[in-house]
Structure 1
Amino acid sequence: MGLTAIDLGLRGATSGVFLLIILVALLRRATGQHALLGMAMSAGGVFYAVATAPFFPKSSWWWVLPILSAQPAVFWLWARAAFDDDFVLKRWHGALWLSIVAYGFAITLGWSQWPALAGAGGRVLALATLVLALAAAVQTVKTWGADLVARRRRLRLAMLAINVVLIAAVAVAGFAAIPVAVPGAPGSLPTAFGLFVVAMLAGLGLFSEPAVAVDDATAAIASDDTRKQARIADRAAAGRVAIDPILLRRLDHLMTVDRTYRQEGLAIGALAARLDVPEHRLRQAINEGLGYRNFNAFLNRYRIEDAKLALSDATQREVPVLTIAMDAGFQSIGPFNRAFKAETGVTPTEFRREALTPPETDCDPGISQPRREIG
């Protein structure tokens, strides 16, 4: 009974933290997809903590298990939104979640009549859980190097690792028929502790003081506008941001004069080596000094400006768009087209056509043409 009491206490604390996160998000009127998915994750955490607790009524399993089985899909979408700043929710994402829920209901409702078929369906569902957990882990590894937000790199990586372990444990239990996280099963204290750690990390990530982003720093450095630099310094001091202005000036020189962004496969580690500074200092300078959350977005700012100049040049009218993209530093045409349209609102081909089309001039013959005298 002592372990059961600890188990229930951890689950109660977990539910309280998750509910507080949802309340704060609602009070802040957060409507972004990351915030909405975070609230969905928190609501799922409350539901999971309650539904997998000891003494949970077995009569509710038939509707609880399908909803729990769809939580990995919500977690995967949350990981996409958290680690990919360019991620956009699509309708098929919601259709995927509904499909998993419907499939879970089909398994639970058919368990009494076709146990063998339902067991096979449960293993398929466990496989889907593993695939979604693996996809979330791949998303973390894929974007971790380019992430410039130190707080997000630390807290979300730890929370993601714990979430993946929990989801994998549930999936393995489904394969091996081990009641690790089955609602009401004994021995669920490790699950309760893991949920509590996840809730605390989520709360710490939400309630810790965010870093202050300094706007227009690049423009101030490039133009040597001392007044703008002074305003940036004052805002940085107010936000307790200690960014070396000399480092920002050297970085801007590398980008605007040396055009280092054209280097193929340029990583932040290589750029830090060229500047002879620790990588974490360069990350902080780009994030807190220039306001960028992602290293690729920082590079793309210069690359797209380079491409716009080339596309607007009449002497390069016959140069293929792919060549211009490669010269600017992009490695393929797909990322270039997406980044260019996100920045300008048009495709590179449309931008070139508009830039190289001469403006039309209205000519009124009655006004502009000189009168001819007869005689």
Structure 2
Amino acid sequence: MGLTAIDLGLRGGASGVFLMIILVALLRRGTSQQALLGMAMSAGGVFYAIATAPFFPKSSWWWVLPILSAQSAVFWVWARAAFDDDFVLRRWHGALWLSIVAFGFAITLGWAHWPALAGAGGRVLALVALALALAAAVQTVKTWRADLVARRRRLRLAMLAINVGLIAVVAGAGFAAIPVAVPGAPGSLPTALGLFVVAMLAGLGAFATQPAVPVDATAAIASSDARGAARAPTGRVVVDPILLRRLDHLMTVERTYRQEGLAIGALAARLDVPEHRLRQAINEGLGYRNFNAFLNHYRIDDAKLALSDVAQREVPVLTIAMDAGFQSIGPFNRAFKAETGVTPTEFRREALSRPETADDANRDLRISQPRREIG
């Protein structure tokens, strides 16, 4: 009974933290896809904590198990949104969740009549959960190097490791001829402990300071010169202004962003500074959360200048994208439209249709780039 009490206490604590996350998101009126998915993850955490607790009525398993099985899909989509700043939630993500739930109901409702078929279905469901857990882990590794947010870099591996472990437990039970882990089964205490740790890590991320908004490099350098090592009005740490100047020189004068496959480690080597200092400069000094977004800012400005140039009217968009530093047309089109709201072809057509406007745009872009060089 002592272990059961600890188990229930951990589950109660985890549920309380998850409910606090939902409450904070509602008070902040979070409507972004990440906020909505965070609330969905937290609601799923509360449901999982209650449904897998000791003494939970077995008569409810037929509808509980399908929903628990689909939690792996919620976690995968949340990981995509949390660790990929360019991720966009689509309708088919919701359709995937509904499909898993429907398949889970088919298994539980058919268990009494076709146990062999239901057992095979449970193993299929387990494979789906493992595949989604693996996809979430791959997402973490894939975007790890480009992530500039120190807190997110520290928390993501711990969060994913524990969540993937929980999903693996649920999926592993599927290979034992049941759809998901049986609520209240032996080994419930480690599950409760893992859930509690997940809730604590999620709380640290949810209650953290809101991310900074990207700012102009010139303004950031001027603020640094005026304030030295003080804090900016937003509360963001102002980094070394000399480092910001050198970084700005590489980007606007030497156009280092054009280098193919440029990574933050290579850029730090060019500046002869530790990589963590450069990450801090770009994130806390300029407000970027992702290294690729930082590079794309300069690359898109470069592409806009070329697309507005009458002399380059016949140059293919792909060539302009490659010259600006993009490695393929797909990422260029997505980044360009996200930045400007139109495709590169539409931007060129509109810019070249008004010669006087195109000339003014070219002049402004040519003037604005040298002006970023301060000192």
Same fold (TM over 0.5): yes
Instruction: Say whether the 8 Å CA contact 1:159–1:198 is kept in structure 2.
Output: yes
CA distance in 1, matches of 2:129, 2:228: 47
CA distance in 2, matches of 1:56, 1:343: 51
CA distance in 1, matches of 2:166, 2:75: 11
Q: Which residue of 1 aligns with 2:336?
A: 340
Q: Which residue of 1 aligns with 2:352?
A: 356
The answer as to 2:306 corresponding to 1:307 is no
CA distance in 2, matches of 1:324, 1:236: 37
CA distance in 1, matches of 2:355, 2:302: 23
Q: Which residue of 2 aligns with 1:219?
A: 218
Question: What code does the residue aligned with 2:129 have?
Answer: T
Instruction: Say whether the 8 Å CA contact 2:231–2:238 is kept in structure 1.
Output: no
The answer as to 2:174 corresponding to 1:174 is yes
TM-aligned CA deviation for residue 156 of structure 1: 2.4
Q: Which residue of 2 aligns with 1:189?
A: 189
Q: CA 1:25–1:181 in structure 2 vs 1: closer, same or farther (change >3 Å)?
A: same
Question: What code does the residue aligned with 2:32 have?
Answer: G
Q: Which residue of 2 aligns with 1:265?
A: 261
The answer as to 2:279 corresponding to 1:283 is yes
Instruction: Say whether the 8 Å CA contact 1:81–1:87 is kept in structure 2.
Output: yes
Q: Which residue of 2 aligns with 1:251?
A: 247
TM-aligned CA deviation for residue 26 of structure 1: 1.2
Q: Show structure 1 runs of 5+ residues with no match.
A: 361-375
TM-aligned CA deviation for residue 227 of structure 1: 7.3
How many pairs are equivalent?
Answer: 356
The answer as to 2:226 corresponding to 1:230 is yes
The answer as to 2:291 corresponding to 1:292 is no
Q: RMSD in angstroms over aligned alpha carbons?
A: 2.1
CA distance in 2, matches of 1:64, 1:249: 57
Question: What code does the residue aligned with 1:33 have?
Answer: Q
Instruction: Say whether the 8 Å CA contact 1:129–1:167 is kept in structure 2.
Output: yes
Question: What code does the residue aligned with 1:263 have?
Answer: Q
Question: What code does the residue aligned with 1:357 have?
Answer: S
Question: What code does the residue aligned with 1:331 have?
Answer: Q
Q: Which residue of 1 aligns with 2:35?
A: 35
TM-aligned CA deviation for residue 169 of structure 1: 1.7
CA distance in 1, matches of 2:98, 2:44: 15
- 3-state DSSP class of the match of 1:309? helix
315-324 or 33-42, which deviates more: 315-324
Instruction: Give the fraction of aligned pairs with identical amino acids, expressed as a percent.
Output: 86
Instruction: Say whether the 8 Å CA contact 1:54–1:183 is kept in structure 2.
Output: yes
CA distance in 2, matches of 1:33, 1:215: 20
Larger radius of gyration: 1
Q: Which residue of 2 aligns with 1:322?
A: 318
CA distance in 2, matches of 1:174, 1:242: 52
193-202 or 307-316, which deviates more: 307-316
Q: Which residue of 1 aligns with 2:161?
A: 161
TM-aligned CA deviation for residue 215 of structure 1: 5.3
Instruction: Say whether the 8 Å CA contact 2:119–2:179 is kept in structure 1.
Output: no
1:274-325 deviation digits (Å, cap 9, x = unpaired)? 1111111111110110011110000000001111111111111111111111
TM-aligned CA deviation for residue 262 of structure 1: 0.4
Q: TM-score, normalised by structure 1?
A: 0.90
Q: CA 1:26–1:8 in structure 2 vs 1: closer, same or farther (change >3 Å)?
A: same
TM-aligned CA deviation for residue 150 of structure 1: 0.5
CA distance in 1, matches of 2:187, 2:320: 61
- 3-state DSSP class of the match of 1:266? coil
TM-aligned CA deviation for residue 198 of structure 1: 0.3
Question: What code does the residue aligned with 1:269 have?
Answer: G
TM-aligned CA deviation for residue 247 of structure 1: 0.4
307-316 or 258-267, which deviates more: 307-316
Q: Which residue of 2 aligns with 1:117?
A: 117
Q: Which residue of 1 aligns with 2:100?
A: 100
Q: CA 1:18–1:216 in structure 2 vs 1: closer, same or farther (change >3 Å)?
A: closer
Q: Which residue of 2 aligns with 1:132?
A: 132
Q: Show structure 2 runs of 5+ residues with no match.
A: 357-375
The answer as to 2:205 corresponding to 1:205 is yes
Question: What code does the residue aligned with 1:219 have?
Answer: T
Q: CA 1:235–1:242 in structure 2 vs 1: closer, same or farther (change >3 Å)?
A: closer
1:302-360 deviation digits (Å, cap 9, x = unpaired)? 00111111111111111111111111000000000111111111111111122222469
CA distance in 1, matches of 2:163, 2:288: 27
